[in-house]
């Protein structure tokens, strides 16, 4: 299994510097990772560093709590694409999801999808650590019915990240062909393989090199 092509090599901590981003661009090309996932501020750096490579540029919107207004998320996504992003990882409005405001959650996702339509794919972070199994099913159905491309489990800022049982539940819900990104706490090859076997088609990982090296 060429596991590098599943990995979105990720740096989303507050202390990441431009030097870190430039190093990770070199590493992403060297190891053949699918994408580099970074804060919006660094997208233009990645566009320059990755211009002659096949590595996608992913960035985050409404990160990490999903509490921005929909208009702000849409603007942030559109600006990121202008800067060079090809993939948008947005966070749902977790508070509205928890109170059962499903129509708002759907509209929030739609605003971001519309802002980058035809220019970037959208992954929707649902933050599984805060949701019941029933809520995971409901929001996964909403995402599948939208023009987004992936359900993503986690930001890495919640009490827990990706779990095999959550990936299996999402796969059962969205069917065999929809994208699922497992993210949060994936730091070794064995865990990565378990996520893929459960149904993940992408992996978000800051430990991408360790995962590949453990194959």
Percent of the chain predicted with pLDDT > 70: 100
Q: What is the pLDDT of residue 18?
A: 98
Percent of the chain predicted with pLDDT > 90: 99
**In the structure, what pLDDT confidence band is assigned to residue 11 with cuts at 50, 70 and 90?**
very high
Gap between the Cα atoms of 54 and 115, Å rounded: 24
Q: Please state whether the predicted TM-score (pTM) of the whole model is above 0.95.
A: yes
Gap between the Cα atoms of 4 and 68, Å rounded: 32
Is the pLDDT confidence value at 24 over 80?
yes
Instruction: Look up 163 and say whether it is catalytic.
Output: no
Is the pLDDT confidence value at 215 over 90?
no
In tens, the pLDDT along 83-136 reads: 999 999 999 999 999 999 999 999 999 999 999 999 999 999 999 999 999 999
Ramachandran sector of residue 32 (left: φ over 0; alpha: ψ -120 to 50; beta: rest) = left
Gap between the Cα atoms of 43 and 106, Å rounded: 27
In tens, the pLDDT along 37-67 reads: 999 999 999 999 999 999 999 999 999 999 9
Q: What is the pLDDT of residue 10?
A: 98
Catalytic hit among 89, 123, 163, 207: 89
Instruction: Look up 69 and say whether it is catalytic.
Output: no
In tens, the pLDDT along 147-156 reads: 999 999 999 9
Q: What is the pLDDT of residue 13?
A: 96
Catalytic hit among 73, 144, 163, 181: 181
Give the count of beta carbons closer than 10 Å to the beta carbon of residue 97.
22
**In the structure, what pLDDT confidence band is assigned to residue 76 with cuts at 50, 70 and 90?**
very high
Q: What is the CATH number of the domain that holds 117?
A: 3.20.20.70
Instruction: Look up 144 and say whether it is catalytic.
Output: no
Catalytic hit among 152, 163, 166, 207: 152
**In the structure, what pLDDT confidence band is assigned to residue 1 with cuts at 50, 70 and 90?**
confident
**In the structure, what pLDDT confidence band is assigned to residue 27 with cuts at 50, 70 and 90?**
very high
CA distances from 187 to 10, 34, 144 (A): 12, 16, 28
Gap between the Cα atoms of 215 and 27, Å rounded: 17
Tell me how many domains the chain contains: 1
Tell me the residue range of the domain where 200 lies.
3-213
């Amino acid at each position: 299994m060429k596991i590098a092509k599943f990995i979105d090599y990720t740096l989303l901590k507050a202390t990441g510097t431009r030097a870190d981003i430039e190093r990770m661009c070199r590493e992403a090309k060297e190891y053949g990772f699918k994408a580099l996932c970074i804060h919006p501020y660094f997208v233009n750096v990645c566009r320059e560093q990755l211009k002659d490579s096949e590595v996608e540029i992913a960035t985050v919107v409404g990160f990490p709590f999903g509490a921005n207004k929909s208009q702000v998320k849409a603007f942030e996504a559109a600006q990121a694409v202008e800067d060079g992003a090809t993939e948008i990882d947005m966070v749902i409005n977790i508070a509205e999801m928890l109170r059962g405001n499903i129509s708002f959650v759907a509209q929030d996702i739609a605003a971001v999808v519309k802002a980058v339509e035809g220019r970037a794919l959208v992954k929707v972070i649902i933050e599984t650590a805060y949701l019941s199994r029933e809520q995971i099913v409901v929001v996964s159905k909403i995402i599948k019915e939208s023009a987004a491309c992936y359900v993503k489990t986690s930001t890495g800022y919640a009490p827990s990240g990706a779990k095999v049982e959550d990936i299996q539940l999402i796969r059962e819900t969205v069917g065999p062909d929809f994208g699922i990104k497992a993210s949060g706490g994936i730091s070794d090859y064995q865990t990565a393989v378990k996520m893929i076997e459960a149904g993940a088609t992408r992996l978000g990982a800051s430990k991408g090199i360790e995962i590949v090296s453990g194959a």
